[in-house]
């Protein structure tokens, strides 16, 4: 199997192009190939597939074998991949996603080189039951949540996948490894949740760290950055455009008042290309 390793701000993916549909063993392959010791190593395995609704379809398998409905960093990598390999007709492409429908992507160029990628991430979903949470509120803002005796409050946003945004005094040094896995599986979240921990630094600048559902702590999360900007506007903490600073770097997020769409701009880079035998069995993984 030929593959390309790519990353968006350190959130890394194994990109596979040429399959006609998602392989029946995609979950098993994701667990094996994403293993950083016995496989290629990545946060997720991404298939670029044919679409009858858009230029391309994207399917994302997390490193634990679960499927993600959407991923902002992955969609930028997919757009960069199809452009660099000559599969795209120009610098604008449409990509079908599992959870957020068809999304428009614009590649910002510097000569013949892709400088950054801007994605129309669509409208945020704010109804509690549709995020989904178990809360019949619209929106779910500053709602209390308790885990292991500690009280937080969260704002729920879906960008095609579910997020809860929690504000703390110091997101950079927050212990994600302790609280992330507990918040992810809280009973409020029937399909689990992506957890964003945020600190407001200015009306146009937010520090954020993320615990991704099915993956764990990652260097960046595009949909999480979008959810954080939306939540920050709902909480009156930021303007409708801001830099969301993640461990892997910065994303510029806008929530347009005119069309209610969220726009994400950031990088996508190729790391290396290679091939791996389909029958590879990572040691210790069945």
Q: Which residues are catalytic?
A: 71, 221
Q: Would you say 155 is a known binding-site residue?
A: no
Rounded CA-CA distance 228/103 in Å is 19
Q: Can you tell me the distance from the alpha carbon of 243 to that of 183, in angstroms, rounded to the nearest whole number? A: 25
| 112 assigned ligand-binding residue | no
Is 222 annotated for ligand binding? yes
Which parts of the chain are beta strand (E)?
2-8, 11-17, 44-49, 56-62, 67-68, 92-97, 101-110, 113-120, 143-147, 150-158, 162-167, 194-202, 205-212, 216-218, 241-246, 249-255, 262-266, 269-275
Separation of alpha carbons 111 and 22, rounded Å: 35
Q: Is 72 annotated as a binding residue?
A: yes
Residue 29 parent element (H or E): helix 26-34
Is residue 62 part of an annotated ligand binding site? yes
Dist. CA 208–CA 225, nearest whole Å: 8
**Structure-token pair, residue 152:** 């937080």
The verdict on whether residue 11 carries a ligand-binding annotation is yes
Span between the terminal Cα atoms of the chain, in Å: 20
CA distances from 18 to 4, 57, 58, 136 (A): 12, 11, 12, 42
CA 169, 175, 177: angle at the middle one, nearest 5?
150
214 is in an annotated binding site: no
* Phi-psi category of residue 67: left, alpha or beta, with phi > 0 → left and psi -120 to 50 → alpha: beta
Residue 40 phi/psi, 5-degree rounding, is -80, -40
**Is 213 one of the annotated binding-site residues?**
yes
Between helices 222-234 and 72-84, what is the axis angle to 10°? 130
The answer to whether 260 is annotated as binding is no
Is 73 annotated in a binding site? The answer is yes
Annotated binding residues:
11, 62, 72-73, 161, 194, 212-213, 222-223
Annotated binding residues for substrate:
11, 62, 72-73, 161, 194, 212-213, 222-223
């Amino acid at each position: 199997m030929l593959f390309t390793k790519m990353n968006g701000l350190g959130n890394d993916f194994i990109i596979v192009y040429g399959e006609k549909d998602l392989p029946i063993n995609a979950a098993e392959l994701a667990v094996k190939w994403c293993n950083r010791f016995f496989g290629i190593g990545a946060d997720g395995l991404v298939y670029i597939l044919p679409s009858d609704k858009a230029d391309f379809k994207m399917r994302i398998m997390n490193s634990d074998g679960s499927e993600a409905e959407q991923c902002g960093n992955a969609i930028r990598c997919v757009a960069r991949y199809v452009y660099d390999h000559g599969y795209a007709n120009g610098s604008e492409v449409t990509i079908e996603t599992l959870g957020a429908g068809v999304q428009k992507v614009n590649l910002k160029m510097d000569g013949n080189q892709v400088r950054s990628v801007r994605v129309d991430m669509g409208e945020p979903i704010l109804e509690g039951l549709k995020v989904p949470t178990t809360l019949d509120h619209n929106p779910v803002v500053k709602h209390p949540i308790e885990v292991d005796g500690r009280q937080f409050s969260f704002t729920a946003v879906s960008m095609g996948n579910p997020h809860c945004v929690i504000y703390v005094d110091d997101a950079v040094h927050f212990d994600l490894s302790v609280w992330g896995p507990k918040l992810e599986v809280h009973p409020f979240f029937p399909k689990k949740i992506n957890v964003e921990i945020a600190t407001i630094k200015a009306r146009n600048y937010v520090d954020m760290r993320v615990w991704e559902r099915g993956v764990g702590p990652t260097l960046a999360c595009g949909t999480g950055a979008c959810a954080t900007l939306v939540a920050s506007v709902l909480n009156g903490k930021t303007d409708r455009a801001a830099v969301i600073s993640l461990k892997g770097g910065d994303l510029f997020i806008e929530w347009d008042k005119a069309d209610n769409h969220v726009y994400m701009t950031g990088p996508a880079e190729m790391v290396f290309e290679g091939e791996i035998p389909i029958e590879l069995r990572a040691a210790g993984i069945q």
